[in-house]
Amino acid sequence: MRNSEFIELTAAGRPSVPTPPPPVGGGVRRRLDGAVVPLASVLGVVVLVQLPRTLEADARAALLAFGVAVVLWSTTRLPAAWVALACAVGLTALGGAEQEDLFEALAADVVWLMVGAFVLGGAIRSTGLAGRLTSVVGRRVRTVGGATWAVTTMLVPLSVLIPSTSGRAAVMLPVHRSLTRAVDDRSVTRALSVLVPVVVLVSTICTLVGAGSHLIAVDLLDDATGSSISFGQWLLWGAPFGVAASAVSCWVVGRMFLSAELRRTPLTLPRGERRPLSPSERRTLVVTAVMVALWSTEALHGLEVAFVALAGAVVLTAPGVGVMAWKDGVAAVSWNLVVFVGAALVLGEALVDTGAAAWVVDRLFTFSGISQTRSVLLVLVVLALLTLTSHLYMTSHAARAAALVPAVLSLAASLDLDPVAVVFIGTVGMDYCLTMAVSSKALLLYAELDEETFEPADLMRLSAVLLPVHVVLVVVFYLGWWQWTGLAL
């Protein structure tokens, strides 16, 4: 074929040669270019973990596996669950964890808590209760900006009712879907997908049962000092902070992810018919109320949160009694997330069991100079910074509490500080985990939705703003509220 056959005439009569096709191998070159940063970062992690001479081989392996996982989570589009599982397998092969640890991870109570929470969320959706909840929002919301504040207002009280961040996030999924479908806009979907888990997480501090890590922290405090924090005390100190942090987070997310025009965009939601509750809705409400009551009174009856969640899932899927078929309940569970959590637990527990986490914390305390200072304000700021960033090297709430609470108690003893105040303020920081989706099951749940939601860079951008804001909030609440209500360092 002649070259002249490819030439077309423009309107002016001049020949126009079409743009040549891209060179063969361009896609391969782009993939290689995209792999430079991850590979260089992984190599840096490999070199760094060889430097400390005081670390044992298993602790080095734990740091290496976790460091590689963090690099791949934050710089690539590889599935988070696959990365966690691959690094857990590599950790086991290197001797940083036992094979049984890898297999037993899926037997952890948090895994079964998630299964029960997902089944509960599926029942709420399938029976129509989620639609009723959306209708309540629809009757009061007029704009997209108003929807963000309505979602925040709904989420904060759930921290008292549902003692699981993933459970609260799962319950809000139907509302999230209704809102994003009502406004078919990528920015709105991204903003709401970020907002729900962020508010779930920052409102966790509102109550003692907001997260299992709170109970771990209180148990460790009691064992070490004989002091404790009651449900009422925690509510007194935590609820105002959680409400303020949720409101600030909502405002920041709205400004960072939504333009002023989008915030003013009218929003019309289906309000549904005012009809009596169906039998399936009533049964779901009864089961949910019983589960919440049992969750809130665990200290009285001894039934663990995960067991209650599983029992509720069994009732909701029981033949002739439940509200959904067993196969539908199974389909409601995000098994990808379950695998991720199991593998991430192996990485987090290895950091604690091998002493790698304690080594990192000790170096941070030494580097920051907090153990030598006598300024209460400086101790407060450094303690806030260290705990607020702890999610970067320990993704598990429970692992953070287990590793950091003994360390901050030791700090309190060395500086003659009130251990209750140090543990509570440290827990405020440990509850913050917004920089990477893998740092929280609630974030990962919304990152893994079928529709396009948010990118890792979105969270890093948001955390660059919210982390310093949280430091300021800690200082403000200490000076203006906590020290006047019995929480003085």
pLDDT for 127 equals 84
User: In this predicted model, what pLDDT tens digit does every residue of 167-178 receive, in sequence order?
Assistant: 677 777 777 877
The DSSP annotation for 26-37 comes to HHHHHHHHHHHH
Q: Could you tell me which residue, 148 or 22, shows the higher pLDDT?
A: 148
User: In this predicted model, what pLDDT tens digit does every residue of 298-348 receive, in sequence order?
Assistant: 667 878 777 888 898 999 999 988 889 899 888 888 777 678 777 877 877
Percentage with pLDDT > 70 across the chain: 80
Residue 400 has pLDDT above 90, yes or no: no
CA 329 to CA 302: how far, in whole Å? 26
Residue 374 sits at the vertex; the CA angle it makes with 370 and 379, to the nearest 5 degrees, is 45
CB 390 within 8 A of CB 404: yes
CA 118 to CA 114: how far, in whole Å? 6
CA 192 to CA 184: how far, in whole Å? 12
pLDDT for 8 equals 39
Assign residue 347 a region (left: φ > 0; alpha: ψ between -120 and 50; beta: otherwise).
alpha
Give me the residue label for tokens 């005390």: 233
Domain spans of the chain, in order of start: 107-217+225-337, 351-484
User: In this predicted model, what pLDDT tens digit does every residue of 341-397 receive, in sequence order?
Assistant: 778 778 777 877 787 777 777 777 777 666 666 678 888 888 888 888 888 766 667
pLDDT for 6 equals 36
CA 485 to CA 488: how far, in whole Å? 8
Question: How high does pLDDT run on average in the chain?
Answer: 78
- pTM for the predicted model, two decimal places: 0.68
Cα→Cα distances 335→112, 167, 206, 413, 445, Å = 11, 15, 29, 44, 11
pLDDT for 153 equals 87
